[in-house]
């Protein structure tokens, strides 16, 4: 993780914040961008911890969407549309585990579009 985290190192999230952060990452596997967008818009002013996780998930899902669109446009890329799905699944699980450990997580291949 980079030093771009907006959460102070001594901040301890509540159980609800941790649960929401885990859900943001796990539900993003099944419902694409919707869980992270809803949580980010609803909770960003209440919890910096939850805002950080929702922002990371939102940026990652947007990045994966752009990658899939790029692959779909190219003829040979259509054959590899399954690769972003596997990457999305694995990295969302890793992010959920990190959220469960009360640590912020930045997806490694994510554009920082939502700040």
Prediction pTM value:
0.86
DSSP the chain: --TT--S-TT----HHHHHHHHHHHHHHHHHTTHHHHHHHHHHTTT-HHHHHHHHHHHHHHHHHHHHHHHHHHSTGGGGGTHHHHHHHHHHHHHHHHHHHTT-----TT------
At residue 4, the pLDDT reads: 58
Res 3 pLDDT > 50: no
Res 86 pLDDT > 90: yes
Res 36 pLDDT > 50: yes
At residue 5, the pLDDT reads: 63
């Amino acid at each position: 993780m980079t030093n771009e985290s907006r959460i102070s190192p001594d901040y301890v999230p509540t159980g609800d914040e941790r649960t929401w952060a885990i859900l943001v990452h796990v539900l993003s596997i099944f419902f694409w961008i919707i869980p992270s967008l809803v949580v980010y818009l609803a909770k960003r002013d209440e919890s910096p911890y939850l805002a950080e996780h929702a922002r990371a998930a939102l940026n990652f899902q947007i990045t994966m969407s752009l990658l899939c669109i790029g692959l779909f446009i190219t003829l040979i890329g259509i054959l590899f549309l399954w690769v972003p799905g596997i990457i999305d699944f694995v990295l969302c699980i890793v992010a959920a585990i990190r959220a469960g450990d009360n640590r912020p997580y930045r997806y490694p291949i994510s554009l920082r579009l939502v700040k």
